Structure 1
């Protein structure tokens, strides 16, 4: 029977689901396999240590940072907003 009130732990369950969805989304974008020896954006060499640390790497550090800044500005969740905004 629906009472109109959320059950115990419903807010935490929603937050947990949001975090799991975020992790799943990021993992789906991870590349695998051999990376490139030169950046596909600026053609600078990618150091061997970076290629070993990041499987499937395609960008140098500078280009990756620029791409991350652009992606960070475009999305994300408002964790400081109201409880309702956290439930989306």
Structure 2
């Protein structure tokens, strides 16, 4: 995976300022990224080399609702951000 862009959101600002009292320095802020797949394992079926992909900040979803069963966890009503 080659990172092309990285967003800085408000949670990054909290970390930079140590407002949550758990920051560790030095720090590279940013956890919402977009890039290109550079290699895939032999069992990977949903991605190919060259695909543009993004990684968001979703932490958990129920894995049982209609949205989750359709690989659309970002729409889960029980999602944890």
TM-score by length of 1: 0.23
Which structure has greater strand proportion?
2
Bigger Rg, structure 1 or 2: 1
Whose helix fraction is larger, Structure 1's or Structure 2's?
1
